[in-house]
Structure 1
Amino acid sequence: MVDVRHARDVDPGRPSEVDFDGFYAAHIQSLTIQLYAYTGDLHSAQDVVQEAFCRALTRWERLSALDDPLAWVRRVAWNLATSQWRRARTAALFLRKHRVENVPEPGPDRVALAGALATLPARHRRVVILHYLADQSVRDIAHQLGVPEGTVKAWLHRGRAALAARLTETEDQA
């Protein structure tokens, strides 16, 4: 066992780190077995017991004065295990409610349209999407973009012409 006093003078009336080392060595195995029985997972039991002992170490001066410091460590370990179980249950409920749905892959026409839209200049693509996919009128688009209606009509015309050319190329290649 390593002496962690680091050349400090130890007051015999005050509990030392060596006392904690003995306490730890005497109780780590039995507490781990108890938590293993509670959690059903050895790794999880070891984690919560180690965490409980770490918390006890930082409070050892106060805890060593208790009648039963092991009761404090056990309670902390059980609380940690219960918290882990609650977090796992909450995560499982979330996953069950927000399950990924398998959506069929897009058809070739949709892929071709998305590819053709991606080749348009941003303003032409935007007005085509707003007009045909969002069902907005030319007047609404003009108001939203802050441009005259004639500009929106010109962008729509150019966007449709470019889309027709791209989609015709795609059909010819297929």
Structure 2
Amino acid sequence: MIAHRDPPANASPPRRDASASTTTAGDIEEFYAANVNTLTLQLYAYTGDLAAAQDVVQEAFCRALPRWDRISRYDDPAAWVRRVAWNLATSRWRRLRSGVDFVRRYREAPVPGPGPDRVALTAALAKLPETQRRALVLHYLADLTTRDIAQQEGVAESTVRVWLHRGRTALAALLAETGMEYRHG
């Protein structure tokens, strides 16, 4: 059995080896356990968001870990972790605010819904045979010539002209039923 003896009163404290760690893993675990809830509560009160508070506190502890030998010697290591967590929360808030400002600034103007004429035209086009509908859309909305449509569809140009003629005739009759006048032009 080894007897423990107190050092003489005039003896200087033992020196630590500079290369040896001044703290152990248990030290930071104890520090974390003692401070995580308090810091999270403080940051929750600051941010108003529990998940965000937990995130910034965890990040602050993660940043403290590689510096723990130095931070543990501070008079108040919790103050360092708290400051880092508050800085992270403030940065997060600024990023969110910038994002909201960006959205406000560059938001597209709301597009009004389709008018009654467009609704009637869309409904009438839907009633046409597919070939006639496709020919009308490609010719009038995509500005393709009858030759371009014929090449795309793999048919004779005269077939496209027939589709367009029959499509315009059927469309005029369908729109007349709704009270809308079809103007070819």
> Which one of 54, 62, 69 corresponds to residue 65 of structure 1?
69
* Distance in 1 (alpha carbons) for counterparts of 2:58 and 2:36: 14
**Bigger helix fraction:** 1
Aligned residue in 1 for 2:53: 46
Question: 1:67 is matched by which residue type in structure 2?
Answer: I
Alpha carbons 2:40, 2:54 under 8 Å: kept: no
Aligned residue in 1 for 2:19: none
CA deviation map 1:94-151 (0-9, x unaligned): 3123324233333222110011112223332221012122333212322333332112
Aligned residue in 2 for 1:55: 62
**Superposed, which structure 2 residues align to 1:103-122 within 5 Å?**
103-122=111-130
* Distance in 2 (alpha carbons) for counterparts of 1:153 and 1:87: 58
Alpha carbons 1:130, 1:136 under 8 Å: kept: yes
> Which one of 21, 25, 36 corresponds to residue 15 of structure 1?
25
TM-score by length of 2: 0.61
Question: Which runs of 5 or more residues in structure 1 are unaligned?
Answer: 1-12
Q: Percent identity?
A: 48
Greater Cα offset, 128-137 or 100-109: 100-109
* Distance in 2 (alpha carbons) for counterparts of 1:90 and 1:122: 49
Alpha carbons 2:47, 2:89 under 8 Å: kept: no
> Which one of 131, 141, 144 corresponds to residue 149 of structure 2?
141
TM-score by length of 1: 0.64
* Distance in 2 (alpha carbons) for counterparts of 1:84 and 1:67: 24
Structure of larger gyration radius: 2
Alpha carbons 1:142, 1:152 under 8 Å: kept: yes
| Residues 1:133 and 1:30: Cα distance change in structure 2 (over 3 Å) | closer
Question: What's the offset of the Cα at 1:54?
Answer: 6.2
Question: Which runs of 5 or more residues in structure 2 are unaligned?
Answer: 1-22, 181-185
Question: What's the offset of the Cα at 1:42?
Answer: 3.2
Q: Are positions 1:97 and 2:105 aligned together?
A: yes
